[in-house]
């Protein structure tokens, strides 16, 4: 069988982590099988679908390195085909018009609730006589279209992740609505389950890989495939992603969309790596740190867990720091320089920039850490509580005065590591103070805090701008 898979996002929001993970599993499977990975934009909810979300979805996938084959199918452009299929279903007796009003349906559900029953459409308009139907039309009622679901029907499929699945027709909520309300002589807007079957079939999708929240939809869709006598694809339902409290990851957890992770400073490589691990266990002997292009030939649904995956920030952070630490200084600078420029920070030259990233890179976990850590090299830093305390010490002023005098006679452009080391030695001796005190005083004056990367190297870099003098002079 020629493998053709698809991602079918609804552009009613930005690219969600769960959708991106589904995209990855589809993409990996297509790569492994030498198949095709397609995209379908499910934009039939006109009010909630937005062009900016379509753009966000495309950009997010591209950023993650998930490229699709062929041009995307736009679901709303196929509405005539969908309506044609609904007409066929009505003509062949699989679907019918239901005139029950919203009030009547609410009453029905209320009664069910009172009797301790789950809400379910009671199929009351499944067998209307022509006279009854004419009466409803006369009353000006607009029907929905419902697809018949027999309570006795058992629906089964072999899920690539979950094994044999069986659903009973009686658990599917009664005859399902496949088209919204519209005047009786028309067909209203076609709805999700119908449309998905129509499109997956038209796109010749061989495997439907999506989240386990679609299990009941799969059962319903299989009934539509059967009614239309279409080939039924193979299904694989991926586990949910849960937050640390074991609840489904949602907007309430803060960051859930790929563009937000990007904004926070996560790399695409770490994100793609981490999302693959959300559900997939690496085979023995394979490192958990990988590029998705490296694992496509070993990816298999056999190693995708049925159990939900818990989102683990520590692991994502660890992977992100690994990715950053593996980057060459050149690459890291190419990523950071545009962010520096956004802040109005310009490198004096390339070599200086490379030194800077070599200095700050090893402690970066997020790309944004690089911006925060570079800040005092470009802007006068604010004094932290510890920095202020340090500079309040009497000896600190003496030390800084001494240093400033020496610096006045040196050329900032030539100030070297050896110069810095010598200077610290001199101050320690001449002022008769401890080296630690000298170091802390310099750091506090130059960078505002007592922690940071190697002081000597930081100082040398900063001195290239002659900023060390102005900063030191503030405190004496």
Tell me, residue by residue from 194 to 233, as one string, x for binding to ligand GLU by CB under 6 A and - for no binding.
Answer: --x-------------x---x-------------------
Residue nearer to ligand GLU on the CB measure, 180 or 397? 180
**Hey, is 203 helix, strand or coil?**
coil
- Which of 5, 10, 27, 258 binds ligand GLU (CB under 6 A)? It is 10
Residue nearer to ligand GLU on the CB measure, 133 or 212? 212
For the chain, the distance separating the N- and C-terminal CA atoms, rounded to the nearest angstrom, is 79
Using alpha carbons only, give the angle 406, 410, 413 rounded to the nearest 5 degrees.
Answer: 140
Min CB(15)–ligand GLU separation in Å: 11
Residues 159-198 that bind ligand GLU (CB under 6 A): 196
Q: How far apart are CA 311 and CA 308, in angstroms?
A: 10
Tell me, residue by residue from 404 to 443, as one string, x for binding to ligand GLU by CB under 6 A and - for no binding.
Answer: ----------------------------------------
Residues 28-47 that bind ligand GLU (CB under 6 A): 42
DSSP secondary structure letters along 218-247:
HHHHHHHHHHHTPPPPEEEEEPPEE-TTSS
- Which of 4, 9, 236, 292 binds ligand GLU (CB under 6 A)? It is 9
Residue nearer to ligand GLU on the CB measure, 218 or 463? 218
Taking CB under 6 A as the binding criterion, the range among 5-13, 64-72, 110-118, 341-349 that sits at the site for ligand GLU is: 5-13
CA–CA distances in Å: residue 258 to residues 61, 254, 364: 9, 12, 20
**Hey, is 454 helix, strand or coil?**
coil
Contacts of 102 (CB under 8 A, 6+ apart): none
Residue nearer to ligand GLU on the CB measure, 194 or 439? 194
| Crossing angle of the two packed helices 329-342 and 367-378, in degrees rounded to 10 | 70
Tokens of 32: 């492994």
Taking CB under 6 A as the binding criterion, the range among 8-16, 50-58, 283-291, 332-340 that sits at the site for ligand GLU is: 8-16
Residue burial 327-343, b: 16+ Cβ < 10 Å; e: rest: beeeebbeebbeebeee
Taking CB under 6 A as the binding criterion, the range among 4-12, 133-141, 238-246, 363-371 that sits at the site for ligand GLU is: 4-12
Nearest CA among 179, 56, 175 for reference residue 120:
175
Residue nearer to ligand GLU on the CB measure, 125 or 214? 214
CA–CA distances in Å: residue 442 to residues 165, 398, 399, 446, 472: 68, 11, 8, 6, 8
Residue nearer to ligand GLU on the CB measure, 43 or 419? 43
8 lies in the binding site for ligand GLU (CB under 6 A): yes
Residue nearer to ligand GLU on the CB measure, 41 or 359? 41
Q: How far apart are CA 454 and CA 178, in angstroms?
A: 66
Min CB(9)–ligand GLU separation in Å: 5
Min CB(45)–ligand GLU separation in Å: 9
By CB under 6 A, how many residues form the interface with ligand GLU?
7
Residue nearer to ligand GLU on the CB measure, 52 or 91? 52
Q: How far apart are CA 212 and CA 238, in angstroms?
A: 5
Residue nearer to ligand GLU on the CB measure, 207 or 440? 207
Min CB(303)–ligand GLU separation in Å: 21
Contacts of 424 (CB under 8 A, 6+ apart): 435, 438, 439, 442, 456
Residues 88-127 that bind ligand GLU (CB under 6 A): none
- What are the residues binding ligand GLU (CB under 6 A)? 8-10, 42, 196, 210, 214
């Amino acid at each position: 069988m020629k493998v053709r898979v698809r991602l079918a996002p609804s552009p009613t929001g930005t690219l969600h982590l769960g959708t991106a993970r589904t995209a990855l599993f589809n993409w990996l499977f297509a790569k492994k099988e030498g198949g095709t990975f397609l995209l379908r934009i499910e934009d039939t909810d006109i009010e909630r679908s937005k062009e900016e979300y379509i753009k966000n979805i495309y950009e997010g996938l591209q950023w993650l390195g998930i490229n699709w084959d062929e041009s995307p199918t736009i679901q709303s452009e196929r509405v005539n085909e969908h309506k044609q299929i609904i007409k066929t279903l009505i003509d062949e007796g699989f679907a019918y018009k239901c005139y029950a009003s919203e009030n009547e349906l609410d009453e029905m559900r209320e009664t069910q609730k009172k009797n301790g029953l789950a809400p379910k459409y009671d199929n009351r308009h499944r067998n209307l006589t022509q006279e009854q139907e004419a009466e409803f039309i006369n009353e000006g009622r607009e029907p929905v279209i419902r697809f018949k679901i027999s309570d006795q029907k058992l629906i089964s499929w072999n899920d690539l992740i979950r094994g044999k699945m069986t659903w009973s027709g009686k658990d599917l909520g009664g005859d399902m609505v496949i088209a919204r309300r519209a005047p009786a002589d028309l067909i209203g807007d076609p709805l999700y389950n119908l449309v998905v079957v129509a499109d997956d079939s038209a796109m010749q999708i061989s495997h439907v890989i999506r989240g386990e929240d679609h299990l009941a939809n799969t059962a319903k869709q299989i009934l539509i495939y059967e009614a239309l006598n279409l080939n039924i694809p193979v299904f694989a339902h991926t586990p949910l992603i849960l937050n640390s409290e074991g609840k489904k990851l949602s907007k309430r957890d803060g960051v859930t969309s790929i563009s937000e992770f990007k904004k926070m400073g996560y790399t695409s490589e770490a994100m793609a790596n981490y999302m693959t691990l959300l559900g997939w266990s690496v085979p023995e002997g394979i490192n958990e740190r990988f590029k998705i292009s490296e694992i496509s030939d070993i990816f298999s649904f056999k190693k995708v867990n049925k159990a939900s995956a818990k989102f683990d920030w520590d692991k994502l952070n660890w992977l992100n720091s690994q990715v950053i630490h593996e980057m060459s200084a050149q690459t890291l600078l190419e990523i950071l320089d545009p962010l520096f420029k956004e802040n109005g920070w310009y490198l004096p030259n390339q070599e200086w920039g490379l030194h800077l990233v070599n200095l700050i890179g090893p402690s970066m976990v997020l790309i944004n850490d690089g911006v925060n850590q570079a800040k005092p090299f470009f802007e006068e830093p604010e004094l932290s509580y510890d920095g202020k305390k340090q500079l309040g010490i009497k000896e600190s002023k003496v030390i800084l005065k001494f240093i400033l005098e020496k610096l006045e006679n040196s050329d900032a452009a030539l100030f070297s590591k050896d110069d810095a080391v010598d200077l610290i030695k001199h101050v320690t001796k001449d002022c008769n103070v401890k080296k630690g005190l000298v170091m802390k005083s310099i750091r506090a004056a130059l960078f505002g805090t007592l922690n940071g990367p190697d002081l000597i190297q930081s100082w040398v870099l900063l001195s290239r701008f002659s900023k060390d003098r102005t900063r030191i002079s503030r405190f004496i």
